[in-house]
Amino acid sequence: MPNILFSNVRILDGSGDYPYAGEVLVQGNRIRQVGRGPRSIPTMGATVIDGAGATLMPGLTDAHCHFSWNDQASLEAIQMMPPEEHTLFAAKVAKTLLDSGFTSCVGAAAAKPRLDVVIRNAINDGTIPGPRYLANGQEIATHGGLGDSAPPHLDYPEMSFGALVSGPEEMRRTVRQFLKYGVDLIKLNLSGEEIAGVGAEETVMSEEEVAMAVTEAHRRGKRICAHARSAESVKMCVRHGIEIIYHASFADEEALDMLEAARDRHFVAPGLAWLLHTSRDAGDYGVDPNGPMAMMYRRELDTAVETMSKMHRRGIRVLPGGDYGFAWIPHGTNARDIQYFVEMVGMSPMEAIVAATRRGGEIMGSPDELGMVREGFLADLILVDGDPVADVRILSQRDRILAIMKDGKFHREPEVMSARRTRIAS
């Protein structure tokens, strides 16, 4: 790969410091040099790209991503998609996320046991374009809990959205099976979900089942993530060392105290977009904005916003990732969560950007390689038209993302500026 020098750019490095004018040299797949001011890095042997004052920043991370959610209106519609079409759809979603400036994504569950793994492997070997991806298996669910979507008169567990278990030994077997498939993460459904007919404040998985899952995953060096809306389910995550907590809307003061005491061991991705748009914009898909279901989601949204604000003030790591992939929150709109962190949670624009960049590197398990524009880090970069610190909504506008680089290679070259790009002979 040729050396690439980004010149005449504003560098937003992901550290939380204010952007500064400078240059960045990419050599191979890593950032070789970061310089302040113009002409601070020699151009010899490099392809020079004049950024014309655009912002160069780390690629974004979605901490709560479902490549196989197929923009339909129900869990059943996702589950029943045939595997061949489903694989193609997930591949398309992977490209959509990369097209949107997301160079890393955390898989929060797959609709079929091996689907995430297949997509991750295809990205890694260059078969399809996509972000760096942590692959998950199906959601592991209890009978009668979120994920048990089989009709009550038909005892066919394979018809359910989740992989159903009852008791520690069934949990052990399922976790070991998913580990055999090659997942990076294990997903547990600890609490309910209103739209699935199980109360969000219900905690449906037992301590013994959770303990077994964590033991088996950690034995193999894998992390656990959990659907945990209820206060008790959040406490279970802390007690058992579940690293990634999804939702956590109803965390009470005891749960917040526990999380704060262990804040270096946990990440929270609340999925605010799901709550906001399900309560407001799903009328065409059966959720009347004035009906009881929307009212329950509006109540949870209000509670979640207050809870996330408290978490942020306590220094708990809260990351964007909105559970996108339903008809009313389709893939490709994921960066809106950064905006919601500013408008609803009370983060400053810089804090929200850090949550999507530096914190993204942390949740990906590569805090010393991902999420910052820093010498020695992997060259996952986006060039943005404008100043996201002044207006984070820019990050949701795909046409404002002028260039996307992942692992030192352009996924999208800067079209306008490529005409000015010059090759400097060594």
Coil/strand/helix, residue 223:
strand
Q: In this structure, are 275 and 378 located in the same domain?
A: no
- 3-state SS, 161-182, equals CCEEECCHHHHHHHHHHHHHHC
The enclosing H or E element of 234 equals helix 231-240
Domain closes at, from 305, 334, 363:
334
Range of the domain at 167: 60-334
Beta bridge partners of 21: 10
Number of structural domains found in the chain: 2
Task: Give the tokens for residue 250.
Answer: 């109803």
Domain annotation covers residue 357 = no
Task: Give the tokens for residue 17.
Answer: 């410091």
Task: List the single range of 63-67, 74-78, 141-145, 255-259 with lowest mean pLDDT.
Answer: 74-78
What residues contact 84, with CB distance under 8 A and at least 6 apart? none
Burial class (CB in 10 A: 0-12, 13-18, 19+), 343: middle
What residues contact 406, with CB distance under 8 A and at least 6 apart? 59, 98, 103, 131, 132, 379, 380
Q: What is the pLDDT of residue 151?
A: 67
Cβ distance 185 to 107 under 8 Å?
A: yes
Q: In this structure, are 167 and 233 located in the same domain?
A: yes
Task: Give the tokens for residue 158.
Answer: 């394979």
Instruction: With CA atoms as reference, report the closest residue to 104 among 295, 357, 318.
Output: 357
pLDDT at 421 over 60: no
Instruction: With CA atoms as reference, report the closest residue to 349 among 314, 391, 319, 381.
Output: 391
Q: In this structure, are 216 and 239 located in the same domain?
A: yes
Q: How confident is the model at residue 422 (pLDDT cuts 50, 70, 90)?
A: very low
CA dist list (Å): 11 to 20, 58, 103, 268, 414: 5, 9, 17, 28, 16
- Residues 253, 59: Cα–Cα separation, whole Å: 34
Task: Give the tokens for residue 99.
Answer: 């097209």
- Summarize the confidence of residues 350-376 as an average pLDDT: 98
- Summarize the confidence of residues 96-111 as an average pLDDT: 97
Q: How confident is the model at residue 154 (pLDDT cuts 50, 70, 90)?
A: low
Q: What is the pLDDT of residue 417?
A: 46
- 3-state SS, 20-40, equals EEEEEEEECCEEEEEEECCCC
Q: How confident is the model at residue 157 (pLDDT cuts 50, 70, 90)?
A: low
- Summarize the confidence of residues 401-407 as an average pLDDT: 98
Q: Is 414 left (phi over 0), alpha (psi -120 to 50) or beta?
A: beta
For the segment 211-244, what is each residue's pLDDT rounded down to a tens digit? 999 999 999 999 999 999 999 999 999 999 999 9
What residues contact 182, with CB distance under 8 A and at least 6 apart? 114, 117, 121, 135
Angle at 380 between CA 101 and CA 49, to 5 degrees: 90
- Summarize the confidence of residues 337-361 as an average pLDDT: 98
Q: In this structure, are 403 and 280 located in the same domain?
A: no
Domain annotation covers residue 352 = no
pLDDT at 411 over 90: yes
Q: In this structure, are 272 and 133 located in the same domain?
A: yes
Domain annotation covers residue 366 = no
Q: In this structure, are 41 and 77 located in the same domain?
A: no
For 66-167, where are the alpha helices, taking DSSP H only? 75-79, 83-99, 115-124
Q: What is the CATH number of the domain that holds 197?
A: 3.20.20.140
- Summarize the confidence of residues 6-29 as an average pLDDT: 97
Q: How many residues does the chain have?
A: 426
Q: In this structure, are 24 and 94 located in the same domain?
A: no
Average model confidence (pLDDT) across the chain: 94
Q: In this structure, are 86 and 216 located in the same domain?
A: yes
- Summarize the confidence of residues 178-200 as an average pLDDT: 96
- Summarize the confidence of residues 149-153 as an average pLDDT: 69
For the segment 122-133, what is each residue's pLDDT rounded down to a tens digit? 999 999 999 999
- Residues 421, 315: Cα–Cα separation, whole Å: 43
**If you ran DSSP here, which 8-state letter would residue 396 be given?**
G
Cβ distance 277 to 328 under 8 Å?
A: yes
Domain annotation covers residue 379 = yes
Return the beta strands (E) in 248-360 as ranges.
267-269
Domain annotation covers residue 351 = no
Q: How confident is the model at residue 419 (pLDDT cuts 50, 70, 90)?
A: very low
Task: Give the tokens for residue 6.
Answer: 């980004």
Q: In this structure, are 68 and 46 located in the same domain?
A: no
For 100-230, where are the alpha helices, taking DSSP H only? 115-124, 168-181, 207-219
Q: In this structure, are 46 and 66 located in the same domain?
A: no
Domain closes at, from 334, 362, 396:
334
Task: List the single range of 4-18, 33-47, 386-400 with lowest mean pLDDT.
Answer: 33-47
Q: In this structure, are 197 and 266 located in the same domain?
A: yes
Q: What is the pLDDT of residue 355?
A: 98
pTM of the model: 0.94
Instruction: With CA atoms as reference, report the closest residue to 302 among 267, 360, 345.
Output: 345
